[in-house]
Structure 1
């Protein structure tokens, strides 16, 4: 992969920054593009002096004219707090962003990977979710800007593949966690950890029986890179996630144990259209990528807790002031 020129949209975000770091370690030239709506410069500050790293502030809803060999399209707010803040812009980021990046890939004949999501399955009535499942999605609910935006992006990718023979890769990412998560993004792992470290009540929405499957970020990045480097005959979509399933109550209790917190658990009303179950069927990832998650929940949580503990201490502020 030496000297491969790679564009990462959303490159200063949680996943994007880890991907940029991995690609540099693999010998690539990396162009990180971000409008910093949810991405943070601090996530990639340690890369700014790297001779093969370049940062460009740009919104993917506008065309981009650069020269690259590969494109990882990760640009889109991915947590409910952020994608519901400006739902119209969220949909435009998924749809217009996909159109612009696909147009760029078409001009360059570059290989392009779409970071899709398990949210394309909605609130599933099949468990675990295989790639052949079409989903159970509310097209007009408060989460639709993200769910349907990502579904439409997948449609565009496959239409470009069929109509223009574009070299596409589509990955459906399930819940991922790790260092550089935004502490105020409303995702369950970061929420629980910040609350536990600060001694605040841990808030569970619903009765805590709803389940998620948590994949550590390093495992996820490995899958993205493997997917990009598969042959042109394999487009996906392919599920990437850790099939080990935990209830929200189990996760909260594990984080309390690992942090030594005395936080109590409180229950609040479940948000509209919140999925009751989420677990990937990763048989295809095992077959095509030779991949499965290798980081245990305890090991991943310990690394993530250490990251948030350092940030809270260094900023000497309340968790809500972290940005």
Structure 2
């Protein structure tokens, strides 16, 4: 195979048909790269990548990362894993396998190719944090046997594997810890608070708030998240992470519900449900490292990002909205 020039790389994105992966692939293709999208479509959909099939630099491969993969690439973004509680709790053993076996297989591929590999980790490695905001040095407060443990501990184990491959094999790794991210192409039934609230509001259904609504989150728009990924991958070998990628603006779940009602002009009422087990009370990143090392910080305001996301769901639900 002829070598690929510095200006054009062949890049593998696992989980590429998912919400985050498909946006990342859009950006990589816009930059002129060739992209291999690998996904088993367990929690993702081909709809997210339908617009890419006519692009000669895009290739889709249906594959489960729990099994070895043999391709020739210059960089790997490992995003493969169901990320919403509804999806990852549906088959918790498979979720853990995807994080651990998937990491082993992708790290093995990167070791053979001697290429950079980025792990899409998560703020869930911090669990229900006793430190606020969360810095990368915080080791977390995670329940190892709870209903969310398949995801939380799977991602923690994947980080361990990445750093052991780095120390033992001098592999050029990058680890990004993603905080709550939202935007177009979210699954309408993924159980996440932003998509739940928007779908319920557009259909004038009761908006479900778990707990008392005072638990807080910070939400990062997907374009900002993708920019952070690309900047982290572009750093030299001395930068490995982990690096928090997220928005520092924190607001309560009740404030989010009211913002969605305002943007959608919904007639929905609020209803209250018990808080799920192990649901963290607070989640906000310290992004000092991202600012200092990547010269990155979020630029999309919450109201603007939510308005774009509402527009996506309004188009998706057009038939149901007209029937109201």
Measured after TM superposition, the shift of residue 3 of structure 1 is 1.9
**How far is 1:303 from its partner?**
0.2
Counterpart CA distance in 2 for 1:277 and 1:66 is: 41
Supply the distance in 2 between the matched residues of 1:48 and 1:247 (Cα, whole angstroms): 40
The one of 240, 243, 254 aligned to 1:238: 243
The within-5 A match list for 1:39-58 is: 39-58=44-63
Structure 1: segments with no counterpart, 5+ residues: 319-323
- Number of residue pairs matched? 317
What is residue 26 of structure 2 aligned with on the other side? 21
Give me the whole-angstrom Cα distance separating, in 2, the residues matched to 1:116 and 1:26: 24
Which whole-Å CA distance do the structure 2 matches of 1:39 and 1:2 have between them? 30
Aligned to 2:197: 192
Matched, 1:88 2:93: yes
Report matched runs for 1:1-323 at 5 Å.
2-313=7-318, 316-317=319-320
Distance 2:105 2:126 in 1: 25
Q: How far does the alpha carbon of each residue in 1:239-269 deviate from its partner, in whole angstroms, 9 at most, with x for none?
A: 0000000100000000000100010001100
Secondary structure, counterpart of 2:86 in structure 1 = helix
Gaps of 5+ in 2: 1-5
CA distance in 2, matches of 1:29, 1:257: 41
Look up the match of 1:321. Answer: none
Q: Distance in 1 between matches of 2:313 and 2:142?
A: 33
SS at match of 2:171: coil
Q: TM-score, normalised by structure 2?
A: 0.97
Q: TM-score, normalised by structure 1?
A: 0.97
Q: Secondary structure at the match of 2:317?
A: helix
Matches of 1:86 and 1:262, distance apart in 2: 36
Distance in 2, matches of 1:317 and 1:206, equals 29
Shift of 1:125: 0.2
Q: Which runs of 4+ in 1 moved over 6 A?
A: none
Match of 2:138, SS state, is coil
Paired with 2:226 and 2:7, the residues of 1 have a C-alpha distance of 18
Note the C-alpha offset of 1:2: 2.9
Q: Give 1:39 shift.
A: 1.1
Secondary structure class of the residue paired with 1:84: helix
Q: Deviations over 1:36-88 (max 9, x none)?
A: 01111000000011010000000000000000000000000000000000000
CA distance in 1, matches of 2:107, 2:163: 10
